[in-house]
């Protein structure tokens, strides 16, 4: 009798594990487009804030040192280098940082929505930068899971279902949830 009850319960439990893994995988992977969008917008906001700060610092330097109003970033930095090397160095770093944020944003947004999460992930792996990783960390920490009904999210959701199916198979196999009976048929 115990064998009958355990077999009767085993199949629904296996199916429940599959369902939970597949839905969990779909919901998790579906977050990629939303996370990427928030990450890209954050990069743009930081780049714009940095640019406003740079413009203000350059305007002050132009006025204080009587530089031309049309002097670009590098001309102002070079003009400051002889008088205020520390200010010149920090201004140069700020310009480089703002440029890096703008370029990363542009690279991500230049791709179709389906590829944007892959481009953002590739950028984080191949061109790691502590500033970009800090932004990414904040985006992940503050992300509120959401379901967005758009084609890119649907494709990522399907990929998550497949991934969840593989995870479920691994979990079931690890806990003895799959067996081959004498008939040669595969049962999960």
For 108-142, how does the pLDDT look when each residue is reduced to its tens digit (9 = 90+)?
Answer: 999 999 999 999 999 999 999 999 999 999 999 99
What's the pTM value of the predicted model, to 2 decimals?
0.80
Nearest CA among 48, 51, 73, 47 for reference residue 62:
73
The pLDDT of residue 179 is above 70 = no
In angstroms, rounded to a whole number, what is the distance separating the alpha carbons of residues 82 and 93? 17
- What's the whole-number average pLDDT of the chain? 89
| Buried/exposed 75-93: b ≥16 CB within 10 Å, e otherwise | ebbebbeeeeeebbeebbe
In angstroms, rounded to a whole number, what is the distance separating the alpha carbons of residues 160 and 145? 15
In angstroms, rounded to a whole number, what is the distance separating the alpha carbons of residues 23 and 19? 6
Nearest CA among 69, 131, 145, 60 for reference residue 94:
131
Where do we find the tokens 């932004």? Answer: 135
**What residues contact 107, with CB distance under 8 A and at least 6 apart?**
119, 123
Residue 175 is predicted with a pLDDT of 83
The pLDDT of residue 76 is above 60 = yes
């Amino acid at each position: 009798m115990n064998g009958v009850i355990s077999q009767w319960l085993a199949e629904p439990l296996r199916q429940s594990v599959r369902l939970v893994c597949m839905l969990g995988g779909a919901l998790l992977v579906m977050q990629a487009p939303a996370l990427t969008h928030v990450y890209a917008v954050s990069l743009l906001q930081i780049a714009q804030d940095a640019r406003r700060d740079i413009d203000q610092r350059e305007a002050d330097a132009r006025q204080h040192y009587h530089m031309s109003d049309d002097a670009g970033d590098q001309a102002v930095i070079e003009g400051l280098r002889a008088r205020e090397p520390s200010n010149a160095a920090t201004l140069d770093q700020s310009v480089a940082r703002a440029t890096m944020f703008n370029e990363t944003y542009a690279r991500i947004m230049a791709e179709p929505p389906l590829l944007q999460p892959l481009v953002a992930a590739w950028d984080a792996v191949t061109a790691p930068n502590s500033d970009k990783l800090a932004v990414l960390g904040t985006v992940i920490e503050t992300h509120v899971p959401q379901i967005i009904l758009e084609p890119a999210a649907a494709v990522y959701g399907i990929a998550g279902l497949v991934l969840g199916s593989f995870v479920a198979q691994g979990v079931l196999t690890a806990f003895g949830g799959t067996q081959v009976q004498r008939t040669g048929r595969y049962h999960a």
